[in-house]
Structure 1
Amino acid sequence: MRPVVMHQHQWCCYSEVTPVAIVGVTPKAFLLLNPPWSTNFHKDKVTLTCSDSLSPAQGDIYWYYNENLLNKKSEEIQIDKTGYYKCKTQRSSLSDPIHVDFSSDKLILQAPHPVFEGDDVVLRCQAREKAKEISLYRNKTLIQSDFTLKSVSRNNDTYHCTALIQGFLWTWRKEISKHLTIQVQELFPPPMLIASPSSPIEGSPVTLKCETWLPPQRSHIQLQFCFFREDKALQKCWSSSPELTLPTVWSEDAESYWCQAESVTPSIRKRSLRSQLYVQRIPVSDVTLEIQPPEGQLIEGENLILICSVAKGTGTVTFSWHREGTVRSLGTKTQRSLSAVLQILTVKESDAGRYYCAADNIHGPILSKLIRVTLRIPVSRPVFTLTSPRMQAMVGDVVELHCESQRGSPPILYRFYHDNVTLGSSSVPSGRAGFKFSLTAEHSGNYSCEADNSLGVQRSDRVILSVTVPVSHPVFTFSPAGPQAVAGDVLELHCEAQKGSPPILYWFYYKNVTLGSREAPFGGGASFNLTLMAEHSGNFSCGADNGLGVQHSEMVILSIIGPPSNKTTLITEGVTAGLLSILGLAATAALVHYFRTQRNSERLSTTRTPSYSPREFKEPSRTSNTNPQEPPDPVEPQPVYNNVNPGDSDLVYSQIWSIQHTKENSANSPRKHWEDKEPTVIYSDLKKVYPDDSTGQASIGDSDLEDAIENYENVPCILSALDR
């Protein structure tokens, strides 16, 4: 039948961990049981596993049964006999023995393995048959039915259990288990106190170690330690470190020492045996001088530290410090130690030289070797200068930057900056450093320099440099835009240079004649408004100047047309005039033809350039010969005038033949040109409007013809048979 489990408890395997190592002690091997009970029923199988602190175990495993070596070498063996079992690995000492019992009784009391001091243990009373009324006894005394034992210790207590077991014909009989002694192992052995060195020299340090170890199954438990001299603690108890270092020991410190070790949870405390400490006394020897900073590399203004030490020597020692070439010592100290310190505050250049020290403990002074102390001087704040070939720096100028520190140990590294961006660097053993470069438009800004000799960086004052940039070729535009404009419109001319230092003066030109100027004090462009006239057809441009030369824009050609008229009104007036008098119309046409021909002759004989008032400031030169970007004026069309009358109308058309004269056709007559190339013809619709008199009739005289109001309407037309 299946055994009856009286108390259920979950048992887990112990993790393989490393125990606390101790000097000169080989850790023991340890045994694990599966299932973990030291008492089992007859014919049950139990597996034993041998492990050490460095599991998995390596090499051969040695097994012992009742002190007899078994012929088994594996890490695990299976057993079914009652007796004592031990094992050993190549890296460990012999394990503690464990007694495993295989019982043929109907009732057994089971205890787990392993059990250590301070553990809480759960016992299990188990029967082969159905059982009830289970009781647990300790040393033959009944205890409560709870089978959990709190914080067990290593003692000779015995335990057994009783129960009523169901027998034949459902009868119950009382059974008593064998007495069981729980195999409680040491949580850790009593510590040992070890001094290192075992015989310290007077005045030297000594390290005390409180050595013990935890088994691998309980390596998670924390230990704490306390050290004593005679009956006085050497430090505040408790410490997690098993070591305590005494900085110096003297002959009078040769007393007895001991230590204690205690586990935090559970609280198990053990103490070591007392140990006597022996201290040696020896004369002074091997005197040395140490300087800080090391190697004697000292910066001016720092503190110089001189450390005089002796390798050996006990008792009271007198230390003294000296600089070569001086009679008096720099200082003396008498104390019971192996070293002493002298500090010289805020060293200066005169403190450089060679130093030594002496130590004496009544047997005579012993001198150290000489050590040279050198001083390094940090750089002072550098002076920065900027040299330019002219008062106002311009693009393309070569400027030279200089940087110099008056004090500082060489070598000195100089760095040059433009708006905190590095321009370049130079390392010089002494004197000043220079840097040259050619100016561009982007070089305006703040300039400075740094001096660095690895003892600190010093920055100069800033110098502001303004680089004057010549103006670029301006862009000329007008608004409203378009190749044609109507007389009377207001045209906005705009001129703007994309580059150039302000202020910028802009000039506006019509056919190389200055229209006016505008100033842009802060840069950007400028505008000029022009009311258009019929004579304004032609080339427009502009110029920009900021004192470094005038730059001209490209020319823009603009055509001006006359204002539009009401054609219906003019035709009606013309018809009315024809009805009044055909003779008047003929006379009017003849006069108009005469005056028109006379006026055209006058226009051809006068200049085409309008007259403008001169400016108070000096105008920049604007000629086609000085400005290679200005295109030559286009060849002016040469008009030929001719009046055309349809014959049945009161309208007179002025026919204008526009002929382009070139070098090839300048000698030919207009007629021959017409034959070679069809000309462009524009008809000018001409009418006369007379002021009405009180009688509603028009009066025309010689003077009236000159004062008459002329109305024109250009009518483009292609040559017809009538024209030819």
Structure 2
Amino acid sequence: MLLWATLLVLASASGQFATTPKPVISLHPPWTPVFQGDTVSLTCNGFRSSSPKKTQWYNGQSPLTETRNTLDVYQSGKYSCRVGTSLLSDPVHLDFTKATLILQTPLSVFEGDSVNLRCLARAGTELENMEIYKNGELLALLGENNDFNIRRASLENSGVAEVQKATEFVTEGQELLLICSVDRNPKNMNFYWYKKRGYLSSGAKYKIASVKNSDAGEYYCRAGSFTSKPVTIKVRVPISQPVLTARTRQTQIVEGQQIILNCEVDRSSPEILYQFLHEDTVLWETKTSSILASFSLTAKHSGNYYCIANSGFGPKRSKVLKLSVIVPVSQPILTFHPAEARTVEGSVLTLHCEDPRGSLPILYQFYREKLLLPRSSTRSDTGASYRFSLTEAHSGNYYCTADNGFGSKRSNTVSLSVTVPVSQPILTFYPAEAQTIEGSVLTLHCEAHRGSLPILYQFYLETSLLDRSTVHSGVGTSYRFSLTEAHSGNYYCTADNGFGSKRSNTMSLSVIVPVSLPLIIFKVPRVPAVVGDMIELQCEAQRGSPPIVYHFFHEDVMLGSRQSPSGGGASFKFLLTEEHSGNYLCEASNVGKTQRSKTVVLNVKVPVSRPAFTLRASGSQAVVGNVMQLHCEALRGSPPILYRFYHEDVMLGNSSASFGGGTSFNFTLTVEHSGNYSCEADNDLEVQRSETVTLKVTVPVSRPVLTLRVSKAQAMVGDVVELHCEALRGSPPILYRFYHENVVLRNDSTFSAKGVSFNLSLTAQHSGNYSCEADNGLGAQKSELVTLFITGPTENRSAVATGVTGALLSILGLAAGALLFYFWFSRKAGERSASDFSRNPSDLNPQETTYQNVPGWIELQPVYINVNPRERDVVYSEVRRNKGENKYAAASRPKILTNEGSPVIYSQVKVACTPASRVQQSATSDPHR
């Protein structure tokens, strides 16, 4: 294989452009060689011209079609270019290689340049490290940076040409070709060949047509100022076939003798590699002109021998020399077949005698107690055997002899004892029952009635060894143990005295295991368990021989029984009711033993039923101001239960009952509390809503107001007076009673909120005190007294009017103070009960806001009203004019007076009607009649 090297050519800068100017090719990337598959872009750098010129590219002598000044190259070749009619550029040789590792150099280097040499591996090649060499010597180890830099290039950095050669060793008569080459070989470079500093010839090649032994030596070449490394050529001379001979002093070759082997060749190079082989295995090897091998023979030296000689031109092998080494017999080995020293009477015994080393043929003889056994002598190539049927008389000592003519040898003595094999043993149980209970003690006894001692007894359960015992005297042996559940199965025993094991018949044992403490568990479709769910009680004893009977109990009352014929647990299913809450346990029974499980508690959750909703007032009726209690209770349902109270679907509040019995919600009644009520029960299992209960809040009647209306300013006999009684507050129906001096005049019942009226034709007897009473069943309320004065015939009316006018003038100041006190008191009362005023009908004209003089008293329409029904001490009576209205219509809308300017005709402050005050009032009023 040719050994190639790269020469780095360093040219001096002087004289670079001494020739006629021509284009110069530059590379991108500026490296060579490159990997196959890569692309190199060549640029033809021409001369500056005012007009562009066409570029012609060449690969060798072949023109290319590309006419641009750049050319992309993909394959190896020698590329050049011409611009217009310029000279052809110097060629650029590009090498696209398949190698996995290349050393890339710049295309050209000048003295003083900074030069990078790049060691590059093909993509996908994994390398641990890279090294760079110059002239065969290591320059540097390259790490992650695969570049090697020469900071300032000089001629010393030029590489040295290496001789390309086929091999350093040539065979006499072969052709030898030496080649001298320099990378980027300049034109017209001369080559010269030398041997040991002597000139041979010129030219890049030096050829020797037929090599002789005298052509061996060192060769080198020179090219310009470069000298290659020397190459050593060695000439090999073929050898003849070697001859192997053996030398010994005796005619027979016996083990232990000395033998000499000699291997020789007739013609060869000065140095030969000799090898001695025995059955293709190398025994010795050495480099010399000839060899003698001397060694002492052993039995392993018998076989085929030959030698090989090699001077570097291929091995030559001698003919085979066969040696047979005679080995005297060694001590023979006597063996029995079967090999036991004790054999059974009646069996066939084979004696075998063999010498492992002695040369054949060998004579073997067998002896018992120094007596030659009849017909035992034999001459054998593979040992000898003696076979016979044993009797008790064959017990004794045996040996054998071997002889191949170089001395007889005797084996060691082997003793033989003929014994009686054991008979089939008998296995028995104590106690003898086939079923025993766990925890009891069982004894196994095994005995062989015949057999030579010692006898090895072994006890087995199924295939597992339980115990073993060797008996040297006596009869049989026993094994005793406490029974567990694992001891159920098949038992047998074996007896063995060395001449065959015998096995007893199999006996079965069933160990009854009393039940263990059972475990009871619930299996429910959900947690917690709810009424209506199907529940499964599972009871299982982890240990216990089947069949097992299971009993299930609830509060010590048996629910049912189940039997498990083949082991495992049992189940009991039932549908849950509320009564199934409580303690549960189970029992497991077998073979007269009963075990009871621990108690487990089951809490059966009951969804709430529809709750019962009741309303309980503190009095006999739902009256404003009374305390109302809402009570909600679900008769069924597992606590805790959350109760919610609703008024018209608006939740009032909630309360949780942890122990049943429902819960209540209290509040003080107002008129707004009338409406529909309900409650809701929720225990996280179900939500139930009660029926709706309607509550009507009853308002007790307030103190009624009695109004007397007449058509004239002064009531006179024959006039008609309207009596109107009205309670401003109170739930209908309301029964009104009218009184004259505590005598009932009339009863009227109404569902209206406007009170009731009736007319009375006045007579002289109608003078006096009037009152009314309102009653809606929650307590009667009586109005303040209103006093009515009835005068005589019409001719006296002027005097009455004058008296009235005088009385009116005399009390104007007092009336003004009374009105101010009334308005203050009414405002305070309104803060306590605004509802009293909201129900009063409007009967006065709001447009009349000032007092007016009355031109004609006879046209006035007086209205008598007790305007302060809430106070019992003072009664304010006023007479107003109802302007622009029908007198009866106006009289039907009584209202407590305000300070909005009603036309007050007269006002009088009266004390609450007592008998004394009435007298005083009558006395005071007389002058005005």
* Shorter-chain TM band: 0.3 to 0.5
Whichever of the two has the greater Rg, that structure is: 2
Structure with more contact order per residue of length (Cα contacts < 8 Å, sep ≥ 6): 1
TM-score normalised by structure 2 residue count? 0.33
TM-score normalised by structure 1 residue count? 0.40
